[in-house]
Structure 1
Amino acid sequence: MRRALWSCYAGVVCAAIGVSTGQVVAAVINPESGPVYAVGAMTVDATPARVKDFAVRTAGTYDKPLLLAGVVVLLAAVAALLGLAAAQRRWAGPAGMAALGAIGVAAALTRPSASLADAVPALVSAAVATAALLLMLRPPGAPPDASQRPRLLDRRAFVGGVALAVAGVAAAGATGTSRVAGRAAARSRDGVRLPRPTRPAPALPTGVEPGFVTSNADFYRVDTALTVPRVDVDRWTLTVRGMVDRPFELSFDELLREPMIEQYVTLNCVSNEVGGPYIGTAKWLGVSLAELLRRAGVQAGADQIVARSVDGMTIGTPTATVLDSGTTPGTQPALICVGMNDEPLPLDHGFPARMLTSGVYGYAGSCKWITEIELSTFGDFDAYWVRRGYAAQAPVKTSSRIDRPGPFARLAAGRVVVAGVAWAQGTGISAVEIQVDDDAWRPATLRPEPNLDTWVQWTYLWQAAPGSHTLRVRAVDRTGTVQTGERAQPFPNGATGWHSVAVTVT
């Protein structure tokens, strides 16, 4: 039993040494090529859309740390079994570590933006782990007799301590290198001076309440990036190519010299459940994407814009949606954004540049860390989420949410302020209605709406009587269409249904 435990322990420690070393190498080559991150990214790609929505809904912004923790736990379990097998058959250790290395290589090389160099961290991990395992495991033979047991304990303590120390140093080195990269990207961002907008956003109308604009710190983040891309603006370019007459490329400095538009727009994630948090409104600064496309000369038949991120993510957007954006009074043009709420884009939200298309969900029009725009067709190319079953074209659905009171709140009888937001991008909100229990729908009071592509705040004064109650909300857009009460999950093109909260009045 002691020998079996020692073998399992040796397998785990050697795998930790190998993976930590690989992460150090990846920090120099490409942080996304690290064995843990690469396998995690491959897992994300292979995860069914419904499971992904469940993870976002359940874990929120902790979904990625939990995924990486799961990869580490699974690796530790496999490494323990390899150590046990190697104690019986010495060849099993190198063979197993080589298999794990092959998985790491495959995971790294199948990333959209991978190069051959991305295979190096996994190869180094496998080689180091194999060497360490062969050194730590005693050659097969009879177990030590009683006189040798103290020596075995000393050897175990010594080798184990050294191994853990090496693993700790390697992990610290990887973390330190990543922090250096992060600090370099932060310094690059800090050096950006945003130009004054050619077309400033109109001031928010009187009557808009605090909270209308979502702060950068509170703005939701939903994406597949296990490591946030760290981009140096001096090396970044935006390329426009594909089915265009005049392909061109812009540096970041050249992009900043383009006419800048400032606008308030609400951004909504398709993963958002009815009443969910994955929606926010910000003041964005950027360049008209339609004008860039006109400069390139869009060819006939190019009905899809394929935006690519620096990490290889692809987002597909209808060309007509972008070219028509902002042409209807009250709607806002699609942008290549460089600013968010009066500062350069945060690293988590796409620095140095991102695409923003109002009226469609983020997965269909808002590519973060954008570096390429290719004009193509929906028949020739399926973007990342379309290949996973999401709708190719996904206009945002009319919806509404109760923000207060919160679910299961305990309230005093009397006048209660019920408040929330509603949105119908491209159309605007004409009315919001509240229902208490099964009573008739009552009109809420709308706050001013800056434009048709933002949410609108609303309030309702409720004379609350003692007892348990359910509050519901629905919106009506400016065409007179009432928000549907039929429940639908986020997959494949956005959730529907009326948001409701249960409260107790005493």
Structure 2
Amino acid sequence: MTARGAKAMAGVAAAAVALGVTQLLAVLFGPQSDARNAVGSAVIDLTPGPVKEWAIQTFGTADKLFLTVAVVGVIAALAAVTAQYETRRLPVGSAAIVLAGIAGCVAVLSRAGATVTDIVPTVIGTVCGVAVLRLLISGRFTDEVDVDPSADAPDRGRRLSLVTLGFLGAGALTGVGGAVLSRLTTSVSGDRKAFELPRIDVAAPAVPPTVQPQGVALPSFVTGNEDFYRIDTALSVPQLSRADWVLKIHGMVDREITYRFDDLDSFEVIEKLVTLTCVSNPVGGDLIGNAAWTGYRVRDLLAQAGIHSDADMVLSKSIDGFTAGSPVEALTDDRDSLLAIGMNGQPLPTEHGYPARLVVPGLYGYVSATKWVVDLELTRFDRAQGYWTPLGWSARGPIKTQSRIDVPRSGADVSQGPVTFGGVAWAQDRGVRSVEIRIDEGDWEQAELGANYANDTWRLWSFPWQATQSGSHTISVRATDNAGAVQTADLADPIPDGATGWHTVSFAVK
């Protein structure tokens, strides 16, 4: 190994030790001291809106994994480069580690509820990283490999490589061990397993089998918990137990109210099927799902506080600091917005907001679907903004009338003869009246609709077709909602208030 290569590896090993020690010590100080998570969250917060949207469109629900890998990769690369200029008299690499440690401390302190003691793991990890780098760059190792032409130089090089790999492995093991221990010590999985949903007072109507068109492989009308999309700003899933959960209602109200989880027992339990849609869902995208939610009417909780007549926004806040601004009427009218505690007959999965979240029919999630919700502030749109609004999204996000083709898939081959195409359409909380299909540049034809369950849920459709002409074809879809609005053909990106356009798929008859 060359001297430059040895120094680069030393830098990576030192960075690994710094990160690993920090991660391991964070177990003792609590999740708020996790510098890796704090830095990643800070990167999310500081990233411009269009870049965030690019990440979601490119990586979908794997965006957080990509960010984690990218952050670690950047740290490793910087450590490798700066360590090459490290000498006993000019500690460039060490200075870089110190600067990274300072950045980590700042990121930790920037998180909600952080204190000065939360930076202790980062400080100790930084010191360990510098110590490892100084040891590996000492004359005992690198300098001798670089300048000593004697026969035992290869042995010194091998010793350096082994020591460096040892530190690299130790850093990786402590980092992984710290992450595993942190998950074990903070997990609320036991709390969730011990929770039994309360008896439902107002059950959702039974789902008739006719909601599902026959003869075509479409998504299930009710999306399973494990298949439901997840898009949020939480780099690691918050772990909040029922005993620690508190919901504060304040702001433009007659009286401030604080609810603990047991206080919810005094309210009527509602079950409601609602389709949720992410504003980042592109035309034809899959960031949409339909589930049966169990919870309490938000309007019942707000009524106890007494809302001022001039309040027009409810600013909801998550335990991790995320905020969303919803119109007051969306949380108080007869659409029955929910403080949900259950999903498809089970306690909320932790990644979907356990122990409580908001479910608001008719609004994109970025202005309504706050997970791990702990705060509702009554305010005004001219006084406050949710998380996404300053980043380029509109303050209000009503869901647009949209539709999607699931069969055929883009580029699929279709055999000659009778075939059945199909997909889904949605227009929460107006409902879907009709779906039309066009093959190539032909006339629009009515698709067959599955039974209409509710205006707050999507509607599945099918379209029988005779595939007689071989060659390439396209299929396009458009929906009309119950208010009479026809899905627009105008193409628009998700920013600022949701994508529009007709979904078109190319296929071939063979």
Report SS of the residue matched to 1:299: coil
1:360 alignment counterpart: 363
The correspondence of residues 78-89 of structure 1 with structure 2, limited to 5 A, is 78-87=78-87, 89=89
Give the TM-score, by structure 2 length: 0.93
Is residue 2:217 matched to residue 1:202? no
Q: Which of 369, 372, 386 does residue 372 from structure 2 map onto?
A: 369
Q: 1:283 aligns with which of 292, 315, 338?
A: 292
Take 1:470 and 1:169, find their aligned partners in 2: how far apart are those partners? 53
Q: CA deviation at 1:270?
A: 0.2
Matching residue within 474, 493, 496 for 2:497: 493
**SS at structure 2 position matched to 1:480:** coil
Root-mean-square deviation (Å): 1.9
If the length of structure 1 is used for normalisation, what is the TM-score?
Answer: 0.94
Which amino acid in structure 2 is aligned with residue 218 of structure 1?
A: D
SS in 2 for 1:57: helix
Residue 348 of structure 2 is matched in structure 1 by: 345
Contact 1:199 1:262 (8 Å CA) reproduced: yes
Cα contact 1:360–1:394 (8 A) shared by 2: yes
Q: Distance in 1 between matches of 2:478 and 2:28?
A: 52
Conservation of the 8 A alpha-carbon contact between 2:88 and 2:137: no
Does the 8 A contact of 1:216 with 1:346 survive in 2?
A: yes
Q: Where in structure 2 are there 5+ consecutive unaligned residues?
A: 213-218
Q: Does 1:388 align with 2:391?
A: yes
Paired position in structure 1 for 2:309? 300
Give the distance between the partners of 1:179 and 1:473, measured in 2 at CA.
45
Deviations 1:324-379 (A, max 9, x none): 2x2xxxxx311100000000000110011001111000000110011111112212
CA positional deviation for 1:168? 3.4
Q: Are 1:97 and 2:97 counterparts?
A: yes
1:320 to 329, 332, 343: 329
Q: Does 1:451 align with 2:460?
A: no
Q: 1:166 — aligned with what?
A: 170
Look up the match of 2:471: 467
SS at match of 1:51: helix
1:404 is aligned to 407
Following TM superposition, where does structure 1 have runs of at least 4 consecutive aligned residues deviating by more than 6 angstroms?
none
Give the match for residue 329 of structure 1: none
Moved more, 109-118 or 348-357: 109-118
Alignment match, 1:37: 37
Q: Mean Cα displacement is larger for which, 250-259 or 65-74? A: 250-259
C-alpha distance in 2 between matches for 1:124 and 1:75: 17
Q: 1:175 aligned to 2:184?
A: no
Q: Measure the CA separation in 2 of the matches of 1:344 and 1:245.
A: 32
Question: What per-residue deviation string (whole Å, max 9, x for no partner) do you get for residues 274-297 of structure 1?
Answer: 110000100000111011111111
Shift of 1:477: 1.2
Q: Mind listing any 5+ residue stretches in structure 1 that lack a counterpart?
A: 327-331
Q: Distance in 1 between matches of 2:367 and 2:165?
A: 51
Assess if the C-alpha contact under 8 Å between 1:28 and 1:177 holds in 2. Answer: no
Q: 1:98 deviation in Å?
A: 1.4
The aligned counterpart of 2:189 is 186
Moved more, 165-174 or 73-82: 165-174
Structure 1 equivalent of residue 339 of structure 2: 336
Cα distance between partner residues in 1 of 2:367 and 2:138? 57
Match for residue 156 of structure 2? 152
Aligned-pair CA distance for 1:302: 1.7
Number of the residue aligned with 2:484 = 480
User: Is 1:18 aligned to residue 18 of structure 2?
Assistant: yes
How does 1:49-64 map onto structure 2 within 5 Å? 49-64=49-64
Shift of 1:96: 2.0
Deviation, structure 1 residue 82: 2.6
